[in-house]
Structure 1
Amino acid sequence: MQVTTKAIVLSAIKYGDTSLIVKAFTASDGIKSYLLKGVLASKKGKLKPALFQPLTQLELVAYHKNKGTLERIKEAKVVHPYKTIHSNIIKNSIVLFLSEMLSNSIQEEQKEQALYNYLEYSLIWLDENHANPNYHILFLVNLTKFLGFYPDESQTDGNYFDLLEGNFRTTPNLNPLLENEANTLLKRFLGINFDAIMQIKTTKQHRLELLNKWILYYELHLQGFRKPKSLAVLNAVFQ
């Protein structure tokens, strides 16, 4: 079946000498993987490898068989040309990290329009604003709303956040916990939008502690989730 859909590129992996396998989150059908035969060798073809950089926003004309196999792209064009994301080293590092997180987190082959809208808005915000070391943390905190394990905000007085249960506690238990400054910092990220991250003042140490524990939070709640390899690169640019 031929479909026309918006899509956000999550990864592009070389296949053989001349082809790519592209994984994308589509507005029409959720996660899809495409085989682009000969795209690395053809200079005259409509599909250019540069179109498939991480988190590029595209409009695709594609053929979806919906049988769990690799699909095919007929046409692709950029729908939101980024002005800064791929040229700014900090933003590019954020994008590489988030593309890996998304690739490991989103697993459904079904339409999820609210999630697509969130990703679209978040990436445009990043492109149009100054790089901020709090951006990717808020991105990942808010992403859990769509993945089904956003923190329970009914009781936020506790000094501990239970990473297994997803709620705040007044006393510790044997589960992995956020505590002290990292717990306080998490509360500041709850319920805010990206414009508010400029007001969050913290240290690199506390931000890194929260990020590492938040990645563990994903590991505990998503089957098969793998810790992103690009995390070390991201940490290096925020020295």
Structure 2
Amino acid sequence: MRAKNNSIVLSKLKYRDYDLIVKCYTEERGIVSYMLRGVLKSKKGLSKTVYYQALSQIQIEENYKPNQSLHFISEVKFNYIYKSLHTNIYKSAIVLFLSEILSNVLKEEEKNKDLFHFIEAALQYLDNEDQFSNFHLLFLLKLTRYLGFQPENLNNDYPYFNLESGVFESLNYGIYSISGENLTLLKRLLGTNFDALNTIKINAKQRQEFLNMLLYYFELHLGSFKKPKSLQVLNEVFH
């Protein structure tokens, strides 16, 4: 079946000498993997790899067969051309990190248009924004809504947040309870949209500690979650 499908590139992997396997999150079918045969063999083929940079937003004309694990692309074009996402070193570090996160947590081979449009719009915001050092924190926090473990924003005047249960609490229940700067930032970010993110000022140490807490939150709620290898690069860039 030939069809058009808006897609966000999550990862690409060299296969054999000249082929690529590209994993995308698509608007119509969730996670889909595509085989690009011979794309690394010629200059003309190599020029097409620009479409498959991490988190590129593309429209694919595909030959899709439901029972196959790998599908084939007949035509591709950009849905949105980034101005800075792949050229700004700081944004590139965020892109590398988030593409690894999304590759890890998005498993379903079924569509979720709300999630697709959230990712699409958030990346376009990042592409156009000049102040973005906290972008990945808010992105991950908002992503939890679509993954089913968004922090419950009731009783947010309580002095603790339980990472295991995802709720604010009046008492400290041990290793899963957080307080202090991480709690304060969590409360602020829960009430913030991307367009107001630049009003939140934190230093590199606070950013790193809050990110570590968020990743631990993901680990607690997603059994197969692994810390991204690109975390060290991200921390070094934003140190």
TM-score of Structure 1 vs Structure 2, range by shorter chain: over 0.9
Letter in 1 for 2:185: L
Check the 8 A contact 1:164/1:175 in 2, yes or no: no
Which residue of 1 is the match for residue 79 of structure 2? 79
Which residue of 2 is the match for residue 162 of structure 1? 162
Check the 8 A contact 2:38/2:45 in 1, yes or no: no
Which residue of 2 is the match for residue 122 of structure 1? 122
Q: Which runs of 5+ in 2 are unaligned?
A: none
Which residue of 1 is the match for residue 35 of structure 2? 35
Check the 8 A contact 2:63/2:71 in 1, yes or no: yes
Distance apart, 1:190 and its partner CA: 0.4
- The 3-state SS of whatever aligns with 2:38 is coil
CA distances 1:59-102 after superposition (whole Å, capped 9, x unpaired): 00112222261111111111111011111000011011001011
Letter in 1 for 2:37: K
Answering whether residue 77 of structure 2 is matched by residue 113 of structure 1, we say no
Check the 8 A contact 1:12/1:23 in 2, yes or no: yes
Which residue of 1 is the match for residue 188 of structure 2? 188
Which residue of 2 is the match for residue 144 of structure 1? 144
What aligned pairs does 1:1-239 form with structure 2 within 5 A after superposition?
1-45=1-45, 48-67=48-67, 69-239=69-239
Equivalences, count: 239
CA distances 1:11-63 after superposition (whole Å, capped 9, x unpaired): 01111111111110000100111111111113344971111000000000112
Check the 8 A contact 1:27/1:113 in 2, yes or no: yes
TM-score scaled by length of structure 2: 0.95
CA distance in 2, matches of 1:208, 1:153: 23
Check the 8 A contact 2:40/2:46 in 1, yes or no: no
CA distances 1:134-154 after superposition (whole Å, capped 9, x unpaired): 111001101111111110011
CA distances 1:107-155 after superposition (whole Å, capped 9, x unpaired): 1111111011111110110111114211110011011111111100111
Letter in 1 for 2:182: A
CA distance in 2, matches of 1:195, 1:124: 12
Distance apart, 1:175 and its partner CA: 4.5
Q: Relative to structure 1, is the Cα distance of residues 230 and 46 closer, same or farther in structure 2, using a 3 angstrom cutoff?
A: closer
TM-score scaled by length of structure 1: 0.95
CA distance in 1, matches of 2:74, 2:116: 22
Worse-superposed segment, 153-162 or 174-183: 174-183
Distance apart, 1:7 and its partner CA: 0.1
CA distance in 1, matches of 2:206, 2:170: 21
CA distance in 1, matches of 2:68, 2:223: 19
